[in-house]
Copies of this chain bind each other. A is one copy, B any other.
Amino acid sequence: MNDVKEQLGIYARRAEEVLRSQLDRMQSACTGMDIDTLFAAMRHSLGAGGKRIRPALVYEFCRVCGGALEQADAAACAMEMTHTSSLIFDDLPAMDDDDLRRGKPSCHKAFGEATAILAGDALICAPFAVMAQAEGLDDAQKVELVRTLSVLEGESGMVGGQQMDMQFEERDDVTAAELETMCLGKTGALMAAACRMGVVCAGGSEAQREAAEEYGRLVGLAFQIIDDVLDVTSTAEQLGKPIGSDEESHKTTFVTLLGLDGARERAAALTAQAHGALDAFGDAQFLHDLTDLLLVRVQ
C-alpha cells in the first residue's frame, strides 16, 4: 500500500505540473483582456488539492497499455479540470451551498458567485481545447477522447446523476436500483471516462477501453456505497469529515436501503468485479492495490 500511495503522489505532482503549465499558456493567450480574476478563481479551485485520483487513473491505464505518460498529460489535465468545474458548481448557493472546499473557501466565497460561474464554464470548455491541441496523439485518438469525456460528463453521465441526486432529496421512495443509477452517473461516469481515456491515449484495443470504462464505473459506485457505510461506522477523526450527516438529513443511502451488512456485501461484490475487469491488462498490480486503497480507505 505504501507503494501505491507513493505512486499516487508522483502522478498527482505530474498532473499539477501539467495543470500549471496549461493555465500559464491559457493566461498568456489572454494578454490585454484584464481577466486575472477569472484565472485566479480557476487556479484557486484547481489548486485546492485532493488526491488527483482521476488523473492518476488516466496515467496508470495509459501505462498498463504500453503508453508513455507524456501521451496522457492532456487527458489527465482535462479530467482534473472537468472534476474541478463540477465542484465549483456543486458548491454554489443554489446547489449544495458550501462555504468550504477542502478547508479553503469555495470558489464563490473567495471570488463571488458570478466569477465562480464563469470559472466553472471556462473549466468545462478548457479540457476540450487542451485535448484538441494535444501533442503526440492522432486525430482519431483526440476525437475519441472528446467523445468519451463529453458523453460521460453530460446529461447521460455526471450531470444527469447530479440532477437525479437533487430530485432524490425531495423523495422518500428511492430504491436501491435508482440510487445505483444515480451514483453511476454522478461519480462512476467521470471515473469511467478517466480510465477509458488512459487506454485511448496509449492506443489500447476496444476491449481494453471497455474493460477500463467498466472498472471505473464499478469503482465509482463501490466508492459511494462505502462512503455511506463509513458515514455510519467511522469516527470523524478516521474519516476526516463530520460523520452521521446522512442520518441527520434523513437522506436515503445504501445503508438505509440495504442495511449495514447488505451495503458492505454489495460494495465487496462490486470490488471483486472491479478486480476482475483488470484481467484485460497485464501488470495491473498498482490498479489492484489502488482499488483496495480506494475501497478499504486505509488512510
Contacts and interface: CB of A to CB of B under 8 A. Distances in A.
A160 interface: yes
A32 interface: yes
Contact of A37 (B86, B149, B150, B167): B167
B117 A95 contact: yes
Interface in A138-163: 138-140, 142-144, 146-147, 149-151, 153-156, 159-163
Given A113-B94, A142-B143, A30 B125 contact: no
Interface residues of A, number: 61
A114 B166 contact: yes
Contact of A128 (B32, B85, B150): B150
Contact of A155 (B95, B126, B139): B126
Closest 8 CB pairs of A and B: A94-B113, A139-B139, A125-B154, A132-B147, A129-B150, A128-B150, A122-B155, A38-B163
29 contacts: A30-B156, A30-B160, A32-B181, A33-B156, A33-B181, A33-B185, A35-B164, A38-B155, A42-B155, A89-B117, A92-B117, A94-B112, A94-B113, A95-B117, A115-B163, A118-B162, A118-B163, A118-B166, A122-B155, A124-B124, A125-B150, A125-B154, A125-B155, A126-B154, A128-B149, A142-B143, A143-B143, A143-B146, A146-B146
Interface of A: 26, 29-30, 32-35, 37-39, 42, 85-86, 89, 92, 94-95, 108, 112-115, 117-118, 120-122, 124-126, 128-129, 131-133, 138-140, 142-144, 146-147, 149-151, 153-156, 159-164, 166-167, 178, 181, 185
